[in-house]
Structure 1
Amino acid sequence: MKFTRTTMIIALATAAVARNCTPGLKYCGRTLLDIGNYADQIAQALADSNKGDSNGGRDDLFNCIGGSSGVIKFESICSNGCATEPAGVSDKCN
């Protein structure tokens, strides 16, 4: 019983860990929010680029620089929304 409980705790802890973006790929803000805790980084990237924050950056496009904390840089505002692509493919503006 103890082995099962320990295994379950480790599995749950591992599942809760957020992942970083893949360097070189572009991501919709909503994708970044889905894969990790990117809210503060999105807000900072928008502030650094002097862009507004009308919807929390969810429909804006960001470039993944990478690193241990998954650094991102604002790419563009997606006026007609942002299209999420499959894993390993850059997202894009509609």
Structure 2
Amino acid sequence: MIFPRIWSLAVELALRPFPRATSCEPGLNYCGFNLLQLGPYAADINATLAAQDLPLSRWNMHETLFRCEEGRKGKGAVLFAESCEIECRDGGAGYSDWCLNYTRGIAEELQLGFLDRGVLDV
């Protein structure tokens, strides 16, 4: 019977996880929380925070901005970019994440986020 074979194949394909990226894209900035979802970056984040003399707290791991650079064996290397004052914002797929800070106006931060995507023209 061909129907049970097709049915079992359909179930197997439906349950198989979609492939996803496991490395950051060089040249983009990433919030810590996005790096942690992307792949095994916890040790890299901790080492980067320690090198900046920042406490190894959940806040710093998640709400710090990191720059992705070329790394070894297909895994992007992360460098410290900025410690976010209010929060780290997800820039969306293919765009840099960014910090929402007190030092610049919130309107300017929002404009910067949209400028990355080409939504606003200056």
CA positional deviation for 1:57? 1.3
RMSD: 2.5
Identity of paired residues, percent?
35
Q: What is the TM-score with the length of structure 1 in the denominator?
A: 0.78
Match of 1:24 among 27, 30, 54: 27
Residue equivalent to 1:69:
75
Deviations 1:25-84 (A, max 9, x none): 000000101111111110011112222222251000000013222210011110101000
Q: What is the TM-score with the length of structure 2 in the denominator?
A: 0.62
AA in 2 matched with 1:73:
L
Segments of structure 2 that go 5 or more residues without pairing to the other structure are: 101-122
Residue equivalent to 1:86:
92
Segments of structure 1 that go 5 or more residues without pairing to the other structure are: none
Task: Compare CA radii of gyration and give the structure with the larger one.
Answer: 2
The count of corresponding residues between Structure 1 and Structure 2 is 91
Match of 2:43 among 40, 44, 59: 40
Deviations 1:7-34 (A, max 9, x none): 76xx55x74x751000010000001011
Greater relative contact order: 1 or 2 (C-alpha under 8 angstroms, separation 6 or more)?
Answer: 1
Q: Secondary structure at the match of 2:50?
A: helix
AA in 2 matched with 1:61:
L
Alignment check: 8 A CA contact 2:63 2:84 kept? yes
Q: Secondary structure at the match of 1:63?
A: strand
Structure 1 runs of 4+ with >6 Å offset: none
Higher helix share: 2
